[in-house]
Each structure stands twice: as structure tokens, then as C-alpha cells.
Structure 1
Amino acid sequence: MSGFRNQGSVIPRINGELRLDYSDILRTIRLTNISVERESDCHHHKFLVYVCDYSRSCGGLGDRQKGIVSAFLLAVATSRAFVINFETPCRIEKVFKQHLYNWSICRNFVNTISENETKLIDVMNQPTYKRPTKQVDFELEWQSQVIFLKINSNWIKYLQGRKEIKDHHSWLSEKPTVSIFSLILLTLFQPTKYILDYFEHFHRYHVQGKSLVCSHIRMGKNPTIPNDKQFEIKPNETVIFNFMQNFADPNKYVLYLASDSDYIRNEFYRKFDNSIKTNLSVQHIDILDKNLKRQACEGLKDAVIEQLTLSICDILLISHGGFGGNAAYLRGIDTNLYKYDFKSGRIKRKKLRHI
């Protein structure tokens, strides 16, 4: 069985290794260069702040994870202390606490800085910033004490190609994208007690030592989430269910499905007696209506639980989107990893680097 508990943190399998040396992580990323020990020291630092608030859409959980990882790496590259200002649909502390890096200690401080010492950069839905025409000159253009950044793309490959990264942060140039993504999420986050307690119950009463076989089916706009984006091609649930039929033996396997469709999920429960039935809600967390804040916050908790569940599966089949892809990254191994191929309508074995 895969596992994900170690000193209360989410443990991805990086390069097949389940246990990580935290001191090695600290040395590798050079966290001491961008860390703030005490709140009274905040005024000594420059900052890069990842922003997800009610001013505009932030994307779903997968988009936000990409943005946070990219923003943190930009903070490392520019020697700025890093802050996460994640407010919608509720504060990120509802699902994650700080782990190896404290990203909240100066959150209040950065919001007191005068406007002439701050800069807001909005690069939502942009793969890279000011490319291909030119690369941004961080030293020249990012002079403000506080850079507020709105971002939802994975910029790891872009940063790996920059000269200053190769010269001063060789670990970022040398490590695979998958390893870097998992490493940063591990560095920043550990689940709250609420989520850890959920998984304690999940393993004891549902998995019971059997092999956990999981699938993610994202349908896009459907009656459960009518405001989501419309996909031109949707995954064929019949093909996916036929694949899952290979693991229908209840003595060996338990089956888990994460989906954005209540209909798909209920069909799965009906078809497989060894499926794990949950009461997790199906919602899109990118809701700007503050009247739905409590409902959307529960959706955030449930989305994190579903993604972490996918990350600990012995056999994992994903379909479309960053949610399932990031779960595969956190899982960290190629073994028994599959993806639904939209062009052929078939299920294919995949390596992480091709997700």
C-alpha cells in the first residue's frame, strides 16, 4: 500500500522514494535565504505574494497548485520572502498548514505597505511572462518591496531555461519537473488534523489492507457543475468502467472514483460492489459569490481529500485536467499509472513526465 503520513505531512513518492530527508530539502532550496523568523523582522525583507482573492477567478485546485509552485520558485529566484494570500472560497489554513516554510508570518505586514512600494502582476492563463518577445528583467522591473502575483500556470520549465537559475539554483535546472512540483508542495504544506483524521478512518474502514484502485473522470460542464467550462470531447465512462472491471474482485481490491459529476459517480457505485462510497460534495471551488462561501469552502476541503486519495492509490487512472495530473505528481511513481487518451478513446500506460 502507498502511504502519505510522516510527521503529519503529505508525502509524495519522489523518484520512488517514500521517505524524504527534510534537512536535505532545506539545503537544496536554500530556504534560509528567503525565510523570516519573527514577525518583527518582516520590514527587513522584500516579498513575493501569491494572491487568490475575490477580485477575480483563481481556477480550480489544480490551477492554484500550479500557481503557488510557480510563485514560490519565483520568490526563490528573486531572493524574496514568500507569502500565500489564499482567501477564496476560504483561507487555505482550512485544509493546509505550513510545513517546512512559514508562508503566513508576514501576511498582515505586506498588506500595510504603501501602494508606491507594491506592484500587482496578473499573469492568469499565461504560460510564461513576456515571452517569447523578451524575458522579464527581475532586477530592473521587480524593484518594489512587495510583488503581488496572480498566476495559475506551471512555469517550472520556463524558469529552468533562464541563465540566472542555471547559475545560482542548479538544483532547479537539474531535477525533473515532476520532482520539483512535488518537492515544493511538500515544502509548503501539511494537511490539517481534519484531513488526517479523515484518512485514518478511510484506511481503517474502507481500504483494510487491500489494493486501492482509483480513477478520476472529469466531465467539465454537466448538471452537477453547470458553470464549469465545456469540453469539446468528454471521457468515455464506459471505457473507464470496463478498465476498472479488471479489479472487481472484492477480496483483493477496493475501488475509488473522483469525479465532477454526480451521475458518473452514482453509476460507478451501482456498477461496482467493491467501490468506496463517500459523502464528499462535488463542487467547483472557483466561486466568486460570497453568499456561497461556506458551501464552496466545504468543496475545497473535499477536493483536497479527493486529490490526496488519488495520490496514494496503488493503481491510478486519470483523465483531463490539472487536478488528476497533480495527484499523479504527488503520487510520484510511474508504476501502474494510466491515462484516458482522448484522441484514441483508449486507456494507455503513462510515465509521469508525459502527464
Structure 2
Amino acid sequence: MQSNMLCRCSRRTKCITFVFCVVVSSFTLIWRLFGTWPLSKQRFYYEPVRQIVTNEPTSHVIRNQSNPYQYMFGPALVPNIPEEYFHSHLNDKYIIYRCDGNGLCGGLADREEGIVAGFLISQMVGRKFGIRFTVPCDISTFLQPNLVNWTVDTGNFRSFTMRRVEVIDHDAWKLREQMIKMDLNVSYPEDVVYFKVNQEFIQYLLKNKHFKTLKWAVNLTVPEIYNVIYRRLFQLRPHLDQQFHKFQIRARARNRKLVCTQIRVWKNPTIPNDYDPGQRLDLNIIWDFLKQYNDSSKYSIFVSTDSEDVRKTGVRLFPDAIVDIGGNIVHIERSSGQQVCGGFAKVILDQLVLSTCDVLILTSSGIGRIASFVRGTSDELYCTSKGKVERCSLSDPGYIPYGW
């Protein structure tokens, strides 16, 4: 057998060497027969899928039809997981993320944290998953289901037992700690559990005993789990999909690379009622860093921000290289008025663009952090730290801060 040729054991070989040869040969045979290691040792490999963008701005984008995940421009990577690894035989109970005007939900990244946590819990306990997200506008206006149908008709739940698990900020911190040792089926026996949190739960849920049953997730990192879940749940509605692809074609015309930054200013004239963190980021370190890419023959520069002043500064400093997604800048929890829904669409597109950038520079922003998860690689990833821009990695300790 070919596998036996990996080791050649002579009569003078010690017994321990012989045993080692047998073990190695056996594992090699398993690999050749089944194409994978036993689950406890299994590590899923990335499948780098890149969209093909032609040089002409009017040309069409060719999608890779063999991959179920869309929006794979630039260096974006996604774990390649067999579909049969996901729990598909679900019971008639539900975990439903709910943000429908009953209390605060947070900004877009806060809500995405709750959605991703809710979906992971639903998989851990074998339940169906749904999203009821109607404030400030119905999320289904902008996003539609991809591989998971998360639309639900709550009118069918009249005879069901229900429970609300809706906690934010410090109360959410307490709950995620409790969930490490929680028996989720015992703690939440109701037919429908409405779930809403605005903090990062995945790094706690993966310590729960139920998590070990998830063949698709058991060997993934926290960023990889976000990457997979976000892509499984969402795809753009056609009108935004068209806008997104037109942006990519324009930005990458003539084989230019897309260089992006997400600048979170917090309280500022554009969003005057946002939280004030006190110490302000020195924006000059970002502008100075971007100057090396100020060559419109090689690069396009995209600035996503919560400040109209920052947006205008980017245009002024890099007039030939700048590319932008039109629309008002809003905070979907704190802004109000007729412009909010249009601004909601912009922030969704902004985040998706960030997930495709060849170079990505981040500040302290949940929008940018989740975009980097969906981007799926630490290549050309930079963070602001201690008054400078420096390389960072999705696996760095502290990349996911405790208070997030």
C-alpha cells in the first residue's frame, strides 16, 4: 500500500519507530480515503474566491457561481464548509432577533452582533432562526435572505409560548458570561425566544457545551464565524446590489486597488447626540498614511465615516483618487428624520465595501471591525494605535475589545 512507503522500517528499527510508522501510515490512509481528518482535529481551509472585474467601467461583473457567498471582491476570503455540516433538521421552535421599537437596539454593528449571536444559538439548540428588524426601517428593504430564510410571520405564533431575552450594555455583559455554562434548552424552553443584545457574544458561546455539536463551527475563530454567518444570512436587494457592483467596477477600473478607511469620530456635528468618548483620534495620522496611495492610476481611496467634515476632508486631500457612495451619514439609532432610511442603505453599502478592500485601515468602530471579519484576512489590515497606524491581525489579542 502506498501509505506504507512513508516509512521504511528495517529489522534493526526500534519498536517505537515501528509504532510511529503504523500511526502515520494509518492517518495518511484515512486522509486519502475520506479527504479530511477526524472532526476533533479538523481545520477548514479558506477558499479564496475573487470576482473578476474588467477594466471598463461599463462592463459587467462575472460572479463565481460555484460559491454560494457573494460580494467576493478584492482579497476577501471565506471558509469553505460543506453545506451538510450545518444543522438543517430543525425543530418547530424559534430564536428570533427582534428590533421593532420595543427599547433600544444600538447602531448597525450592535444589531449585527445580536443577529449573529442569535443565529449561532439557534444552531446550537437546533431551532429555526428569524429576524424581525423594523426600526428605523425594515431591514428587508435593503437585505434579503441568502442561504437561510430568516423571514418569519409572527402571526403564526399565537398558540406558542414566548420569552423575551432582550438586554443591552452591562446587562448583556452579564448574560454572555452566564451563557458559558448555561444549558440553553433548560434555560429557554419556550417555543419562541425573542433575542436582542448589543454586545459580542460569540467568544463566550463557543465555550458552551452546545457549541461542540456544531460541525461547521467547532474549529473556526470568532472572526470566521461572523464571516460565515453574515454571508449565509444576507444578500443585497437588487437595487443596492446594482449600486454596489457599479461602485466596484468604477473603483477598480484600470486594475486599481481599493484602499479604504473607516473613521469613527463619535459625537460630532453630523451626529450631535452620539456618545462622546472624551479623547479624540488624531485624524492626521490617517491622512498622512493615505498619502502613499494618492495615485489615481494605481489606487482608489474610499473613506467611510460618521462625520460629514471627515468625508469632505477626504475629497479635498485626495480629489483624483477618492471614490464615494452617495447618501446621508446617519446613526440608525440616534438620527431621525426622512433621511434616516437612505442613510441606513448607505451604511450597509459602506460596510460591505469595506469588507472587499485591498487595504483596510480601521479606527475604533464596530462597523469596521465586522467588515474586517467578513473580509476574512489580515492581509494589508491596519489599525490606529498609540498615535500611529500600524499593521494588525484578526488574531491579535485585544482585536476584539472586552467592552464591545
AA matched with 1:332: G
Amino acid at match of 2:241: L
Contact 2:50 2:76 in 1 (8 A): no
Residue number in structure 1 paired with 2:137: 90
Q: Deviations over 1:326-349 (max 9, x none)?
A: 1111111111000111xx111110
Match in the other structure for 1:163: 209
With normalisation by structure 2, the TM-score equals: 0.76
- Aligned partner of 1:40 in structure 2 is none
Q: Which runs of 4+ in 1 moved over 6 A?
A: none
Match among 184, 193, 196 for residue 147 of structure 1:
193
**CA 11–251 in structure 1, closer or farther in 2 if over 3 Å, else same:** closer
Q: Which residue of 2 aligns with 1:29?
A: 86
Residue 303 (structure 2) aligns with: 257
- Select the residue among 74, 89, 95 that pairs with 1:48: 95
Please list the CA deviations of residues 46-94 of structure 1 after superposition, one character each: whole Å capped at 9, or x if unmatched.
1111011111111111111111000001111122111100111111111
Assess if the C-alpha contact under 8 Å between 2:261 and 2:362 holds in 1. yes
Q: Which runs of 5+ in 1 are unaligned?
A: 35-43
Q: Which residue of 2 aligns with 1:174?
A: 219
User: For the residues of structure 2 that align with 1:6 and 1:151, how far apart are their CA atoms?
Assistant: 35
Aligned to 2:70: 10
CA deviations 1:101-159 (Å, max 9, x no partner) are 1111444423x345xx1111122221352735983332222111111111122211211
Aligned partner of 2:148 in structure 1 is 101
Give 2:394's aligned residue. Answer: 352
C-alpha distance in 1 between matches for 2:329 and 2:103: 22
Bigger CA radius of gyration: 2
Residue type matched to 2:350 in 1? E
Cα deviations by residue, 1:290-317 (Å, 9 ceiling, x for unpaired): xx3x422111100001111111111010
| TM-superposed deviation, 1:232 | 2.3
CA contact (8 A) 1:12 1:18 kept: yes
Structure 1: distance between partners of 2:113 and 2:180: 23
The corresponding residue for 1:194 is 239
In 1, the alpha carbon distance for the partners of 2:209 and 2:241 equals: 41
What SS does the aligned partner of 1:10 have? coil
Q: What amino acid sits opposite 1:312 in the alignment? A: T
Residues 153/256 of structure 1: CA separation in 2 closer, same or farther (3 Å cut): same
Percent pairwise identity? 28
> What is the CA deviation profile of residues 224-281 of structure 1, one whole-angstrom value per residue up to 9, with x for unaligned ones?
0001111222221111000000101111111110010111111111111211144221
Residue correspondence of structure 1 range 243-322 to structure 2 within 5 A: 243-273=289-319, 274-287=321-334, 292=337, 294-322=338-366
How far apart are the structure 2 equivalents of 1:123 and 1:169? 25
1:37 equivalent in structure 2: none
Contact 1:11/1:19, CA 8 A, preserved across alignment:
no
Distance of aligned partners of 1:237 and 1:282 in 2 relative to their CA distance in 1, 3 Å threshold: same
Query: What secondary structure sits across from 2:193 in the alignment?
Result: strand
Q: Secondary structure at the match of 1:157?
A: helix
Q: What is the aligned length?
A: 333
Whole-angstrom distance in 2 between the partners of 1:159 and 1:233: 33
SS at match of 1:174: coil
Q: Which amino acid aligns with 1:301?
A: A
**Of 120-129 and 88-97, the range deviating more from structure 2:** 120-129
* Equivalent position SS for 1:197: helix
Mapped contact 2:78–2:228 kept (Cα < 8 A): no
Tell whether the 8 Å contact from 1:12 to 1:332 is kept in structure 2 after alignment: no
Bigger RCO of structures 1 and 2 (CA < 8 A, at least 6 apart): 1
- RMSD of the TM alignment (CA)? 2.5
Deviations 1:194-237 (A, max 9, x none): 12111222133343131111111100000000011112222211
SS in 2 for 1:48: strand
Tell me which amino acid in the other structure corresponds to 2:70.
V
Does the Cα contact within 8 Å between 1:48 and 1:75 map onto a contact in 2? yes
- The residue identity in structure 1 corresponding to 2:322 is S
Structure 2: tracts of 5 or more residues without a match: 1-48, 53-62, 400-404
Distance 1:113 1:153 in 2: 31
The amino acid that maps onto 2:365 is G
Letter in 1 for 2:332: I
Residue 135 of structure 1 is matched in structure 2 by: 181
SS at match of 1:308: helix
1:337 lines up with 2:394 in the alignment:
no
Distance 1:199 1:171, change over 3 A: closer
Task: Pick closer, same or farther for the CA change 1:108–1:83 going to 2, 3 Å.
Answer: farther
